[in-house]
A and B are shown apart, each in its own frame.
Chain A
């Protein structure tokens, strides 16, 4: 039973020891996303440096899936190029929409790293939004930050 538990150790570890938690002073965009089903909330700040996600930090409250997933996302995305970060977001979205039937290649697993632990969540439609919360917030923040930085450069 524990093998198929949604609550993989990685998820519990990130929940108990969240990464990149805290809101940095220096940021290009701040977004606030909520998931009305669980009442999960995340506030996320992000700073770009050229085409790279230079820094990201967040505060949030809610279920372990939402908080752990935001933590995992932060670890993965900081330091990556915008394109890679958004590609990873798309890959994670696919995984979450797989309804438990994802056929991840070794390459996918390597790229998703700890985010692979959320595969089991995809079987529970009610919880998919929890896992996606931080990732969606990151995507919005990137879009907002881009608008701002592009606006400044033109």
Chain B
């Protein structure tokens, strides 16, 4: 079942604007996706008609807004096929979700009854070489704080994990395995179940960074079998400022809290406090109310189109773009060139032209791409390049836009040739 992309594009007001006098060609959805009108309206409607603080006001507005906020949690839980709604925690973004886990694990060092989460010298934390900084730095810091060892699964020349290294790097000493589902820098889709199974076999906590996967791949946490899955709202056509951490309830119930404050407590004395049950245990203070509600609307929007349909459309666009880009002389694709186990993100390097020059020149033609190390500098180091140009696609991307990209690349090569 194909999507009517022309019709879908009408849902996104920004797609009808011009940049430098030409129609916008937005190929930066992996960075942040554009917003459909329903999401924009949803946030505005909450402020215009229902706004108050959540969970504490007795008045009508307080009850309406709490209903809306908790309703968004239900929608996300359904989207993830989570066994319990209490397993869905709203965070600011995926970076905060991963830091929440890293700091909660760190707090286990002194938290009564959290022995099973404790890390120390001799324990190992594992990531992959293709992580973005959000899934590297918190774990490096956790290793530093606890004395644990930080390790990673290396990459092959064509942008995939070294399969044989998985069982070696994840071993009996491993306590945490945190890895990306779909790489933002390479487009690679990892063998998620294989890695989770290995983590389980050695008794390690498994964490899936699904920031890039959530907008493109059906994300069923029960099917995946991971302990934790995190994603961010703004890449899923939702607002910025809200992300999600899903975790198995039994783990969340024992995990020490990260931020302390209002709403995350059970009772507070001047000498000590006890903490609420999940999810509130991890949602200290007034949350991102309107953004969470609008994320619920984004989830409805995506579900309405059908995530499988979105995946199929993007797979087609990616195949079209891969084929076209491979015909360009002096262009090297950084990441898998085959349209197998790869998502709608293509990074490339043009010989003799710096990616920032490529991006700037493309922008003069109204084409928005990202240039840089994509907050995944180790990936660039691995492939011996300072940076890449990255085109990434969404539900609204058309083959015409890929054609525009190709004309843009040709112009860049002419100018620098």
Chain B residue contacts of A63, Cβ below 8 A: 354-357
Contact present for A12 and B416 (CB under 8 Å): yes
Residues of chain A lying within 8 A (CB to CB) of residue B361: 5-7
Quick check: is B308 within 8 A (CB to CB) of the other chain?
Answer: no
State the CA gap A70–B386 with chains docked (Å).
19
Chain B contact residues, majority secondary structure = mixed
* Smallest CB gap from A63: residue in B: B354
Contacts of B356 in A (CB 8 A): 37-38, 63, 65, 126-127, 130
Are B364 and A6 in contact (CB-based, < 8 A)? yes
> Do the beta carbons of A127 and B387 come within 8 Å of each other?
no
Q: Would you call B415 an interface residue if the criterion is a C-beta within 8 Å of the partner chain's C-beta atoms?
A: yes
Please name all residues of chain B whose beta carbon is closer than 8 Å to the beta carbon of A103 when the two chains form the complex. Answer: none
B360 touches A6 (CB 8 A): yes
Given contacts A62-B354, A64-B357, contact A1 B415 (CB under 8 A): no
Interface string of A61-74 (1 = CB under 8 A from B): 11111000000000
Q: Which residues of B contact A5 (CB under 8 A)?
A: 361, 364
| A37 close to B354 (CB less than 8 A) | no
B373: interface (CB < 8 Å):
yes
Contact A38 B387 (CB under 8 A): yes
CA distance A64 to B352 in the complex (A): 10
Question: A12 near B354 (CB under 8 angstroms)?
Answer: no
B62 close to A (CB within 8 Å)? no
CB distance from B383 to the nearest CB of A (A): 13
Q: Is the CB of B415 within 8 A of A39?
A: no
A1-20 with Cβ < 8 A to chain B: 1, 4-7, 12, 15
Task: Report the minimum CB–CB distance from B411 to chain A (whole Å).
Answer: 10
Kindly state whether residue B21 has any CB partner on chain A within 8 Å. yes
Cβ A1 vs Cβ B354 within 8 A = no
State in angstroms the CA–CA spacing of A126 and B356 once bound together. 10
* B20: interface (CB < 8 Å): yes
Partner of A37, one of B353, B357, B365, B372: B372
Q: Mark B396-417, 1 if CB is under 8 A from A, else 0.
A: 0000000000000000000110
In the docked arrangement, what's the CA distance between A103 and B373, Å? 35
With contact pairs A1-B20, A62-B386, A64-B357 given, residues A12 and B415 touching in the complex (Cβ less than 8 Å) = yes
User: A38–B360 Cα gap in the complex (Å)?
Assistant: 12
Once A1-B364, A7-B361 are accepted as A-B contacts, the answer to whether A39 and B416 lie under 8 Å apart by CB is no
Q: Which residue of A lies closest to B380 (CB)?
A: A39
- Residue on A with the closest CB to B365? A1
- Report the Cα distance A37→B374, complex, angstroms: 11
- In B338-378, the 8 Å CB interface with A consists of 353-357, 360-361, 364-365, 372-373
Q: Which residues of chain A have C-beta atoms less than 8 A from B372's C-beta?
A: 37-38
Q: How far is the CA of A12 from the CA of B354 in the complex (A)?
A: 13
In the bound assembly, the distance between CA atoms of A28 and B415 in angstroms comes to: 38
The distance in angstroms between the C-alpha atoms of A123 and B142, with both chains bound, is 41
Q: Are B387 and A39 in contact (CB under 8 A)?
A: yes
Which among B20, B355, B415 has the highest number of chain A CB atoms within 10 Å?
B415
The distance in angstroms between the C-alpha atoms of A7 and B417, with both chains bound, is 13
In the complex, chain B residues whose CB is within 8 Å of the CB of A15: 416
A130 nearest CB neighbor, chain B only? B356
**What are 12 contact pairs spanning A and B, CB under 8 A?**
A1-B364, A5-B361, A5-B364, A7-B415, A38-B356, A38-B372, A38-B387, A61-B386, A64-B354, A124-B360, A126-B356, A130-B356
| Interface set of A (CB-CB < 8 Å, partner B) | 1, 4-7, 12, 15, 37-39, 61-65, 124, 126-127, 130
Query: Sorted from nearest, which 10 A-B pairs have the closest CB atoms?
Result: A63-B354, A39-B386, A63-B356, A38-B356, A64-B357, A63-B357, A5-B364, A39-B387, A6-B360, A62-B354
